[in-house]
Amino acid sequence: MERKGSILLERYELGKLLGQGNFAKVYYARDIKTGQNVAIKVIDKDKTLKAGLNEQIKREISVMKLVKHQNVLQLYEVMATKSKIYIVLEYAKGGELFNKVARGRLKEDIARWIFQQLISAMDVCHRGGVYHRDLKLENLLIDEDGGLKVSDFGLSALADSRQQDGLLHTMCGTPAYVAPEVINRRGYDGAKADIWSCGVILYVLLAGHLPFQDTNLIEMYKKITRADYRCPNWFPPEVRRLLLKILDPNPNTRITISKIMENSWFKKGLGTRPAKLPKLEIKETKLPEVKTFSEFSRPSNLNAFDIISLSSGLDLSGLFVGDDRRDDVRFTSLQPASAIVSKLEEVAANMKLKVTKKDGGFLKLVGSKGRKEEVGIDMDIFEVTPSFHVVEMKRSNGNAIDYQKLKDDMQPALKDIVWAWQGDSQQ
């Protein structure tokens, strides 16, 4: 147990609890030798091991070590005992930006200043091949002077974990901030997805509420895929135009970081802190027609882990809005991707189907034996966490009757790797 006043690893005097994450507690602490203020993230090894999160923590550590930027929360050192991991971090005295915005929207020049810092941090991260993938207000901390510190790289992926097609295949991030292609498509470009989240953040800072919100997760996803949002009347025209370019549902036409940096609204007062700082100026906001942030009780809390903790038989159809052909099926699996791929190959061989394409988490199965025309099935494996996957099965060619028959034969054969078929409440 960590107690206030206790000395940790003969070096840090522990202070108050600053916050709590999924598997960690964060404490304020002081380096006894240097007097430096730090934040210490204490992670329980047992809990994370059970949840299969060790890889994620290692990733967080390696990513945070990689990036050095004044707006990225710095990692000083990592220490471990038998049961705990201690991550010593730069202390962000102002805490979460979320708490500030929950009290009301920010003034335009303050919002722009935060956004400038965020874009500058992302520029450096992306150049280094690091993508955050879970950018949201709760991951933006503020230092003593109101300066931005981007934290929580827990879900970020390094460029070398990309699949052969150069796209990420992990379904993660936080629904309200997640880009449409992360929800809908096969793979996505981490940089483009981060830019979308930056757009959501800019909107939130200026509006005091989320651009895409709905009590129904599926409806929220639909709004995201259509980029269906409205700007409050106080949004300046330049901001509306910029948001239109950032919140572009098509990642190929979405604005890039370098173009954002050339934008005239973005460039205003660049590098100079607004006069009203260090105190963050909060504007009162009255929004009778939409829920404000504070009322919304952290809607963005549903992340990949919550998806797992939802009951089995979970209907994931809404996670793939826009791709809803009737003969598509999906199942969840608690097996690692490699085991899923092996099983799919084995079942395919037994059913006289050939694997004609294999690309990371994607398999194309084709078979014509005993049929008039060739049937093609695409199997797409999406990673939620390393030990939780969603597999999507689609007809790519051939007639529906042959496909249906193959599907019916395949379903029982896959039982060893299936946790739940989509819409199957019996599981």
Amino acid making up residue 422: Q
Is 378 an active-site residue? no
Stretch that binds ligand AMP, among 12-20, 261-269, 340-348, 381-389 (CB under 6 A): 12-20
Min dist CB 26 to ligand AMP, Å, is 4
> What angle in degrees, to the nearest 10, is found between the helix axes of 108-127 and 190-207?
170
- Tell me the HSE value of 183 on the side-chain side, using a 13 A CA sphere: 31
Min dist CB 54 to ligand AMP, Å, is 16
Binding-site member from 29, 75, 92, 406 for ligand AMP (CB under 6 A): 92
CB atoms within 10 A of CB 53: 23
DSSP 374-394: -EEEEEEEEEEETTEEEEEEE
Binding-site member from 4, 6, 21, 127 for ligand AMP (CB under 6 A): 21
User: Is the CB of 144 or the CB of 409 nearer to ligand AMP?
Assistant: 144
Given the DSSP bridges, would you call strands 157-158 and 130-131 parallel, antiparallel or unpaired?
antiparallel
By the rule CB under 6 A, 26 interacts with ligand AMP = yes
Stretch that binds ligand AMP, among 19-27, 180-188, 236-244, 318-326 (CB under 6 A): 19-27
Sequence-distant (6+) residues with CB within 8 A of 368 are 374, 375
By the rule CB under 6 A, 73 interacts with ligand AMP = yes
By the rule CB under 6 A, 314 interacts with ligand AMP = no
Q: What span, in angstroms and rounded, lies between the C-alpha atoms of 392 and 331?
A: 7
Min dist CB 93 to ligand AMP, Å, is 7
Stretch that binds ligand AMP, among 91-99, 115-123, 306-314, 328-336 (CB under 6 A): 91-99
Share in percent of the chain as helix, strand, coil (round to 5): 35, 25, 40
Of 44, 46, 109, 134, the active-site residue reads 134
Q: Does 41 belong to an annotated binding site? A: yes
By the rule CB under 6 A, 135 interacts with ligand AMP = no
By the rule CB under 6 A, 95 interacts with ligand AMP = yes
Stretch that binds ligand AMP, among 88-96, 117-125, 281-289, 300-308 (CB under 6 A): 88-96
Contact 381, 389 (CB under 8 A): yes
Shortest CA distance to 188 belongs to which of 221, 157, 228, 222? 157
**Binding residues for ligand AMP, total number by CB under 6 A:** 18
By the rule CB under 6 A, 85 interacts with ligand AMP = no
User: Is the CB of 265 or the CB of 296 nearer to ligand AMP?
Assistant: 296
Shortest CA distance to 414 belongs to which of 333, 336, 303, 356? 333
User: Is the CB of 18 or the CB of 243 nearer to ligand AMP?
Assistant: 18
By the rule CB under 6 A, 61 interacts with ligand AMP = no
What value does the CA radius of gyration of the chain take, rounded to a whole number of Å?
A: 23
In whole angstroms, how far apart are CA 394 and each of 18, 329, 359, 365, 385?
47, 7, 16, 10, 22
Shortest CA distance to 38 belongs to which of 81, 84, 82, 79? 79
Min dist CB 212 to ligand AMP, Å, is 22
Applying CB under 6 A, which residues contact ligand AMP? 18-21, 24, 26, 39, 73, 89-92, 95-96, 138, 141, 151-152
Instruction: Detail the residues annotated as belonging to a binding site for ATP.
Output: 41
Q: Which residues are catalytic?
A: 134
